[in-house]
Structures are given as C-alpha cells and as structure tokens.
A and B are shown apart, each in its own frame.
Chain A
Amino acid sequence: MIVRKKVSRIFLYAILVVMALFFLMPIYVMIITSIKPLDEVSLDRMWELPSTVSFEAYRYAFERLYPNFLNTLYLVIPATILSALFGSLNGYVLSKWKFKGSDWIFTAILFGMFIPYQSILIPLIQFLQSIGLYNSIPGLILVHVVYGLPITTLIFRNFYANIPYDLIEVAKIDGAGFVGIYKHIIFPLSISGFVVVCIWQFTNIWNEFLFAVSITSTGSQPIMVALQNLSGSQIVQWNVQMAGALLAALPTLLIYILVGKYFVRGLLAGSVKG
C-alpha cells in the first residue's frame, strides 16, 4: 500500500515537472535566443546555449522600442488611475446606495466587458477623429477608461459588498452623508481593492493590441504594436525579436512576480461571480 502510494507520488511529480518544463520552454527559448550573437542565431542550433553572451540584440531592440515604451507608459498610468477611481465610485453606489433599477444598470454596464470591440471600432474611430483625439495617447486613455468601467465597477462592487451595512448605518446616524461615508469609511478600506484593480488594469492596458493598432499610427503607437511591427518585418533577426518580446513583457512579468497574490485575485474577480 505504502509502496503504491509512493509510486503514484513519483508519477504525480513527474507529470508536474514535465508540464512545468513545457510552460517554461518559451521563456527558455526567448532568453537564450536574445543573448546570442547574430551569427549563432541559426535554425538548427535554436535550443543550444550561446557560446558567448551578447547584449547586442537588446541594444537594438531597446533602440527601436524605446519611444513606444514611453508611449505605453504615458498611456497606462493615467488610464489605470482614472479607471480605478471611476470604478471605485461606481462600485460604492452600486453596492451601498442601490436605487430602483440599479441592478439592471449594473448588468447593462457589465455587458460592455464582453462585447467584441470590433463591434464599436468604426464609430469609435469616427468619434475620436471628430473630437481631434484620433492617433493620440489621450484618445487611447479615454478609450481604456471607458471600456475599463465594466470590470473596475464589477471588482469594486464585489469588494464593497463585503463591507457590512452596519458600518454605513452607524455613520448615517452620526450624520455622515453619501460623500462623507465614502471619504471616511469606504475609501480608507479600499486599499487592497485599489491594488487589485490597478494591477488588473495596468496589465490589460499594457498588453492590449486591438485598440492600439486601430487608433494609433506612427508616433503614438504603444509597445505591443511596435513589437508586432518588429516581428512582422523580414530584416530583423530572431534574437532581436525575442529581446523585444522580453522587453515588452518585462513590466507585467515583474508585477506578477512581485505582487502575484493580487494579480490572481484580479484574475478571479474577472469572472463575473465574486
């Protein structure tokens, strides 16, 4: 019995290790390819370690991607903060100040999270052109704040649902109103809610591609569009592409490594029932 248990334990670990290697395989290839000098990047030696380490590919990729890296930074910081603030207020109203029809309004807002963005893209571009924000970072910020409303509202609404009503009632008896309760009770209790929402929004906006590629052209393109262009052109070598992909992925990977707990919480909150 004990032997059988041991065998099945070994089997269990073997499967997990094989799966882990499969999941890490792309990262391995990205790293070893990106540090290879150009003459070693050949198809048949793809899995081999480099004989000498070269950061030439990083230098080239960084030069190419740096302006777009900045564009994404200018986009992602204000868009994340704004959409978290709106989400917090909406979540507060929709959990603690429900009014007639507010549940239907919530469902109607939530639907916006699931639509294929192709179905709003043509009018969106016409609209951005008409207000002069087409092909601009502020235009992209507006878009991400608006289409981020459903998810940020959902996460904060579920988060605030755990704050007991008694707390609100006591504050009401003490004479606090809608704004006072938010300022003195809800907002101070929101820190971990804000962390989850900000990480979620930061990651999504950083990684987003469809809006970025349709709303911007040269000059204001975010990093993911530049990365796609980098790999779309034939002249650029594989080591540069892999270095570029790693550079573009680094911020969200770092967030995942540093505050993975909150990242997973956001992931779970993204599924409607919280």
Chain B
Amino acid sequence: MSSDKVLPFLFILPSIIAIGIFVYGFISWTGYVSFTNWNTLTPDLSFAGLKNYIFLFNDYRFQSGMRNTLFFTLFFIIGVLMSGFFLAIFIDSNIKQESIFRNIFLFPMALSFVVTGVVWQWLLNPSTGVNILLSNLGFEKLPGWYTDTTIAFSFPLGSIDFGIPVAMIAVVIAAIWQMTGFSLAMYLAGLRGIPEEVKEAARVDGATEFQVYRKVIFPMLMPITVSIAIIMGHISLKIFDLIYAMTGSGANFVTDVPGVYMFETTFRGNFFANGAAIAMIMLFLVAVVIVPYLVSARRGDS
C-alpha cells in the first residue's frame, strides 16, 4: 500500500477516535447509566431495568416538559419560517438600504441565548417592559407573558393538562427574535439563486406577482424550507440556555423543558440515572428528525 493511501487515514484518525469516544462511546455510557440505580451522589451502577423511564413517563414535570417542547417546537418553527420568508421577499424586492435592513434582522444571531434570555426576561416582565407600552396604548388587561399559568384548550392527559401553555409564547417570541436571521439568510440565498428568466417566463405567461411567488418561487424554495425546519426543530428539541436564563422551569412547570429538567435533576439533585434517561429520550427525539435528513443529504451528495 502506498503512503498516499495510509497517510490521509492517519491524519483523520485522531478525529475519528475522538468522535468515536466522545460521541458514540459517551452516548452508550449514558444509555447504560439510564438503566441503573445511580440516583445518589455516589455512583451505583446496579441494573434497574426500565425503572427510570417508567418513572419519567409517569412524572408530572416530565410530562409538562414534553408538552411544552411540543408547542415550543411547533410555534418556533412556524414563526421562524414565516418571519424569515416574508422578510427575505421584502428585502429582495429591490429596496433601498437593503444592507441596513438585512444587518438589523441578522444581528441577534451573533448573540448568546443567555443574553437574549436576560433581555427578554425584562422586556416581557408582566409589570414592566412591553406591558408599559401596551397600557399606554390603552390596553386594560395586560398579558402575564411567561408568568401566565394558563394552559389554553386544555384537557387532562396523563397527570397533566394537555394544551397550549400560554407562558411558552413569551419564550417563543424571544427565540424567534434570535433565530429569524438564520431563515432570512437561507431564504435570501435561495431567492438569489433563482434565475430571473424563470420569474420572467411566468410573468410573460400572464401570472400575477402573487402567483409567481405561490406557483414558482415557493415550490423552488421548498428544499430550503425543509432544511430550516429541520435545523430549527433540532434546536428547539434540545433547547436549554434560553429557557434557563429567561424563565427557568416556571410556576407549575409551565415553561419547563427536558433540557432544563435534565440539568437540574442531574447536577442539582444528583439523580444521575433519571437525568441519563431524560437525555436518552432527548437524543431519540433529535435522531428521529436528524438521521433521515443526514442520510438524504449524503445521497444528494454522491
């Protein structure tokens, strides 16, 4: 074998080993811990079967967190897609000062979720911030934002009320504010990749501007839309820092998510096996979204 075959492999080997241990090895170990009795400060690796998982699926806080994650993910993806799409179309329609607008919508991407959380915690504080503006505009009944414990359209499911947790809307607003820049940048790149002739051809055929977007441009942006939705989806399924900095788990766990629960139960409560089980469920949810995406991206590659 020539050295040109061995050398490349040798150069990439450290990374393969590192990823092998730090990603796949560690995930296996977490999976193992999730089946043990290690729910104290001292490691106890005796086998516990499904005990931790059964505990979680019956647990009020975990069920609340899953409900919150579901609605957070849903509203967050829809919000980021819509705000990014419309802003991209507006910015792409030959406006003056394009770069100023683009920079304004993109800058939150450079911030940390912790900074976003700290600022929006104040802006959406029920006794100040946005509510002062609303009361000046004459609103009598002001929203409680993240302190609202209402679950809208609720019905009992398991040990929780299932429905739309109103408090999560405040967190969704902050998250959309932060991540709109991403979908805006993706859509702008996509719009600029569509040749002018394609739009022109549709216009010559008598399509109105609205039809050009609906029938020509939007379908051509579909792959980008899917990419954004998947990337936003995996971010929201594992969200931790924004909620930890902005609201914490909230009264009656109205803004709790598995990421926050995992951190607190593992590192504040020393329930390592329970924490590991939460982590494995999070991994499973993310993998369901990401693995098909990676496989299809690989196919498109080759």
Question: What residues make up the interface of A, taking CB atoms closer than 8 Å to B?
Answer: 12-13, 15-16, 19-20, 22-26, 29-30, 33, 43-44, 46-47, 86, 89-90, 92-94, 97, 99, 103, 105-112, 114-124, 127, 146-147, 149-150, 153, 177-179, 203, 206-210, 213-214, 224, 227-228, 231, 238, 241-242, 245, 248-249, 252-253, 255-256, 260, 263-264, 267-268, 270-273
Q: Which of B71-79, B109-117, B144-152 contacts A (4 or more CB under 8 A)?
A: B109-117
| Pairs across A and B, CB under 8 Å, 15 listed | A23-B105, A44-B128, A105-B12, A107-B298, A110-B294, A112-B19, A114-B294, A115-B27, A177-B4, A178-B8, A178-B11, A248-B112, A267-B182, A271-B231, A273-B300
Interface size class on chain B is 35 or more
Query: Which among A12, A30, A117, A227 is the interface contact of B90 at CB below 8 angstroms?
Result: A12
Please, which residues of chain B bring their CB within 8 A of the CB of A94? 12
B155 within 8 A of A: no
Please tell me which stretch of B53-61, B156-164, B199-207, B235-243 contacts chain A, meaning at least 4 of its Cβ atoms lie within 8 angstroms of it.
B235-243
The yes or no answer to B81 lying at the interface (CB within 8 A) is: no
Partner-A contacts on B (CB < 8 A): 3-5, 7-9, 11-12, 14-16, 18-19, 22-27, 29-30, 33, 87, 90-91, 93, 95, 101, 103-116, 118-123, 125, 127-129, 132-133, 177, 180-182, 185-186, 189, 227-228, 231, 234, 237-238, 240-241, 244-245, 258-259, 262-263, 266-267, 272, 275-276, 278-280, 282-283, 286, 290-291, 293-295, 297-298, 300-302
CB-CB < 8 A to B302: which residues of A?
103
Among B118, B291, B294, point to the contact of A231 (Cβ < 8 A): B118
Contact A19 B105 (CB under 8 A): yes
The CA of A145 and the CA of B20, in the complex, are separated in Å by 14
Q: Within the complex, what minimum Cβ distance (angstroms) separates B33 from chain A?
A: 6
| Contacting residues, chain B, for A15 (C-beta < 8 A) | 90
Please tell me if the beta carbons of A123 and B30 are within 8 angstroms of each other in the complex.
yes
The 7 closest A-B pairs by CB, nearest first: A207-B112, A116-B238, A97-B8, A256-B110, A120-B26, A209-B241, A43-B128
Contacts of A103 in B (CB 8 A): 298, 301-302
Q: Which residue of A lies closest to B112 (CB)?
A: A207
Task: Chain A residues near B114: list those with CB within 8 A.
Answer: 207, 209, 224, 227-228, 248
Tell me if A118 and B240 are in contact (CB < 8 A): yes
Q: How far is the CB of A250 from chain B (nearest CB, A)?
A: 10
Which of B4, B19, B106, B116 has the most A CB atoms < 10 Å from its CB?
B19
Whole-angstrom distance between the Cβ of B12 and the nearest chain A Cβ:
5
Q: Tell me whether A16 and B279 are in contact (CB under 8 A).
A: no
For residue B221, give the distance in angstroms from its CB to the closest CB of chain A.
13
Interface centre among A13, A177, A207, A268 (most CB of B within 10 A): A207
A267 touches B109 (CB 8 A): yes
With A23-B177, A122-B29, A271-B227 as known contacts, state yes or no: A46 contacts B132, CB within 8 Å. yes
Residues of B within 8 A of A19 (CB): 87, 105
Q: Which of B90, B186, B290 is the one whose CB lies under 8 Å from A268?
A: B186
Q: CB-nearest residue of chain A relative to B101?
A: A16
Query: Are B282 and A116 in contact, with the CB atoms below 8 A?
Result: yes
Q: A122-B279, A177-B3, A253-B107 are in contact. Are A89 and B132 (CB under 8 A)?
A: no
Docked-complex contact A227 and B279, CB < 8 angstroms: no
Name the B residues within 8 Å of A120 (CB-CB): 22-23, 26-27, 30
A residues less than 8 Å from B267 (CB atoms): 214
Q: Is there contact, CB below 8 Å, between B286 and A209? A: no
A149 touches which of B18, B119, B294 (Cβ 8 Å): B18
Residues of B within 8 A of A213 (CB): 263
List B contacts of A25 (CB < 8 A): 123
Chain A residues, Cβ within 8 Å of B301? 103
| Most B C-beta atoms less than 10 A away, residue of A24, A150, A224, A245 | A245
